[in-house]
Amino acid sequence: MNERRQNLRFDKVFTVYLSTADGMTRGIARNISTQGLFVETRDSLPLGGRIKVTFCSEDGTEMTALCEVRYQVALNYGDGEEMTGTRGAGLRIIAYETREDQPLLLVDRERVMH
């Protein structure tokens, strides 16, 4: 199977905080690249909507990205006797929040990160 993705993926799983118009919730980030990420969520997110995703490290460092909801998935799986499911959304990173005097750093889509 050929890989069609244009950007390298960081295959790490960790908790993120999602800020939407309805409030704040938690999600599980997966499959992160320079352009976006997939987040498992309990609730659906509005397609095309903008949300803030805050990443927190163990040492207390935080980073917040403004993202656009590009797609959603709902997965049901099980062993035949007991079914379970999860849902999530593919997010495109639009900008990063920085200091108060420069609130957004727009993502440069042309730059290649190594």
* pLDDT tens-digit series, residues 39-80: 999 888 889 999 999 988 788 888 899 999 999 998 887 777
Residue 35: how many other CB atoms lie within 10 Å: 14
pLDDT at 112: 42
* pTM of the entire predicted model: 0.75
Residue 23, SS3 per DSSP? strand
CA-to-CA distance for 108 and 74, rounded, in angstroms? 31
Q: How many Å apart are CA 113 and CA 55, to the nearest integer?
A: 19
Torsion of CA 4, 15, 45, 110, to 10 degrees: -40
The domains found in the chain, sorted by start residue, are: 14-104 (2.40.10.220)
From CA 10, how far away is CA 13, in angstroms rounded?
9
Task: Assign 30 a pLDDT band (cuts: 50, 70, 90).
Answer: confident
**How many Å from the N-terminal Cα to the C-terminal Cα in the chain?**
24
93 CB neighbour count, 10 Å cutoff: 19
38 versus 77: which is more confidently predicted?
38
